[in-house]
């Protein structure tokens, strides 16, 4: 399976008469793009903005991030979700780099939504402050969930995924500045020198705990709550097989952009044939009942052992209840003779002194921490707020609150805020981007 990603580096984004890409400038016809979005009868109001690194802008509630792309063979960008079910990971895909499409609620936030600051102290907490962003701000007719703490955000998420492909289509017939190639030979048909290297597998645990369908990560359009661990080619992940869910507290979230650009996968590819034999991905899940968690862990270990893995990286999307899946998976792999490094954030409380993971084991002895979800963050007012800042305290956003007897409200009268890291959009970057480190005492 060979995937080529043709990159077009975006130096600036502007609104103009024609949607096009030329000489590093992405121009968007705003009316044309909004007319496309409003073709969905569930989107009742929409607007587009452009925000760039350094702008005095705060976005809230942010629901999703997607890299604008297009597939040259005409397949949908997210097969099984935005179009027909076909295989991802083959052929040529063109991508607009150094930018993303962000989806922001015009009013209503929820447990799973987050905040982005494009400048100042808050900018260091999220990867998306570094990107030039097209921001879709919209409202829907989904009256049944507007005041619900937990939202599927179905119409808004789908609008973002479709708009990312609509905008990405401007580079379909252009020649890219560079082409990334991703190819792995079948596991049992690799050269002797590659097979003699330590064999590594990447175990991914996207969020899939909600038993009601529609909240969880989608795999080829299939709600991952309804699946068992399975072996996948890494190209599928990089090429649109997965779409981010709408469930986990936001700092723990893996956006669709992070599936499309997963840095752990890319680093494993870089080392393949040099220091390791990269076998592929074991796509696992996160469960509710203990029996489900243990069953998934057994499946992961069985697959890893059967394909000859010497080592594994295990990464979880979330914390708390998912820690039990994370730890069980590590223990099962270690028991099978597979050495493991784990990637996760932790919940050590506002004072940093609580137990970091809900479930712990002596065999989980190599874990990379991506940050404390409970760390308190105080941020000054921003000149411009896109969306509705009040949702941070009003709508049950993880990391925000309406009032605290000691700290007061999350959103203060002058527009400054105090919140937990929980509310920072994809802030812990467990996908492999996290810049956080530990303070030595």
pLDDT for residue 438: 72
Q: What is the mean pLDDT of residues 308-320?
A: 96
Kind and range of the H or E run holding 133: strand 132-140
CA angle, 23 then 168 then 36, to 5°: 120
Question: How much is the pLDDT for 156?
Answer: 97
Confidence of residue 413 (pLDDT cuts 50, 70, 90): very high
Residue 144 pLDDT greater than 80, yes or no: yes
Mean pLDDT of 176-185: 97
Residue 352: predicted pLDDT:
85
Q: What is the pLDDT of residue 355?
A: 87
pLDDT for residue 140: 96
Residue 441 has pLDDT above 70, yes or no: no
Using the CB atoms, write b or e for 88-97: b if 16+ within 10 Å. Answer: bbbbbbbbbb
pLDDT at 309: 98
Q: Give residue 146's pLDDT.
A: 86
User: CA distances (Å), 74 to each of 61, 88, 223, in order?
Assistant: 33, 12, 24
What does pTM read for this prediction? 0.97
Q: What percent of the chain has pLDDT above 70?
A: 100
The rounded distance, in Å, linking the Cα atoms of 399 and 6 is 38
In the block, residue with structure tokens 């629901």 = 63
| Residue ranges of domains in the chain | 2-423
Cβ-Cβ contacts under 8 Å for 343 (sequence gap 6 or more): 264, 313, 314, 315, 316, 367, 368, 370, 430, 432
Task: Give per-residue pLDDT as tens, 382-404.
Answer: 999 999 999 999 999 999 999 99
What are the pLDDT digits (tens) for 15-72? Answer: 999 999 999 999 999 999 999 999 999 999 999 999 999 999 999 999 999 999 999 9
| pLDDT, position 434 | 87
pLDDT at position 395 is 94
DSSP string, 172-222: TTSPPSEEEEEE---GGG--HHHHTSPEEEEEEE-----SSTTSS-EETTE
Confidence check: pLDDT of 374 > 90:
yes
Locus of tokens 């990089």: 238
Q: Tell me the H-state helices in 356-430.
A: 391-394
* Distance separating alpha carbons of residues 394 and 410, to the nearest angstrom: 9
pLDDT (tens digit per residue) in 183-232? 999 999 999 999 999 999 999 999 999 999 999 999 999 999 999 999 99
CA distance 206 to 315: 8
Q: Which percentage of the chain shows pLDDT scores above 90?
A: 92
Strand (E) positions, 254-402?
277-283, 311-316, 339-346, 367-372, 376-379, 384-387
β-partners of residue 47 are: 137
Q: How confident is the model at residue 248 (pLDDT cuts 50, 70, 90)?
A: confident
pLDDT digits (tens, 9 = 90+) for 277-290: 999 999 999 999 99
């Amino acid at each position: 399976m060979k995937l080529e990603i043709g990159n077009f580096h975006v130096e600036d984004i502007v609104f103009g008469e024609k949607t096009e890409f030329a000489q590093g400038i992405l121009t968007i016809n705003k009316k044309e793009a909004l007319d496309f979005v409003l073709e969905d009868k569930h989107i009742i109001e929409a607007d587009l903005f452009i925000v760039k690194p350094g702008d005095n802008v705060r976005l809230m509630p942010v629901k999703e991030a997607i890299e604008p792309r297009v597939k040259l063979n005409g397949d949908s960008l997210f097969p099984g979700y935005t179009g027909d079910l076909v295989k991802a990971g083959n052929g040529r895909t063109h991508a607009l780099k150094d930018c993303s499409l962000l989806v922001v609620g015009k009013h209503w936030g929820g447990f799973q939504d987050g905040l982005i600051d494009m400048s100042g102290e808050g900018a260091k907490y999220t990867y998306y402050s570094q990107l030039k962003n097209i921001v879709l701000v919209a409202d829907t007719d989904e009256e049944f969930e507007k005041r619900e703490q937990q939202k599927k955000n179905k119409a808004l998420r789908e609008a973002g995924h479709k708009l990312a492909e609509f905008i990405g289509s401007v580079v379909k017939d252009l020649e890219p500045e560079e082409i990334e190639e991703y190819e792995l030979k079948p596991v049992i048909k690799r050269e002797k020198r590659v097979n003699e290297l330590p064999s590594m597998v990447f175990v991914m645990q996207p969020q899939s705990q909600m038993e009601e369908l529609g909240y969880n990560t989608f795999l080829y359009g299939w709600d991952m709550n309804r699946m068992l661990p399975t072996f996948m080619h890494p190209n599928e992940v990089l090429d649109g097989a997965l779409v981010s869910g709408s469930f986990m507290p936001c700092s723990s979230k893996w956006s669709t952009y992070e599936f499309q650009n997963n840095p752990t996968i890319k680093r494993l590819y870089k080392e393949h044939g040099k220091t390791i034999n990269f076998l592929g991905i074991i796509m696992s899940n996160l469960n509710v009942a203990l029996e489900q968690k243990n069953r998934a862990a057994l499946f992961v270990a069985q697959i890893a052992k059967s394909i000859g893995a010497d080592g594994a990286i295990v990464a979880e999307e979330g914390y708390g209840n998912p820690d039990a899946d994370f730890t069980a998976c590590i223990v099962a792999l270690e028991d099978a003779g597979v050495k493991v490094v784990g990637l996760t954030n932790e919940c050590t409380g506002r004072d940093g002194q609580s137990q970091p993971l809900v479930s712990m084991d002596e065999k989980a002895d190599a874990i990379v921490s991506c940050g404390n979800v409970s760390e308190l963050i105080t941020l000054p007012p921003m000149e411009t707020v896109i969306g509705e800042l009040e949702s941070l305290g009003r709508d049950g956003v993880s990391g925000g609150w309406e009032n605290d007897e000691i700290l007061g409200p999350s959103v203060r009268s002058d527009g400054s805020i105090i919140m937990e890291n929980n509310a920072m959009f994809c802030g812990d970057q467990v996908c492999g981007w996290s810049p956080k480190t530990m303070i030595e005492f």
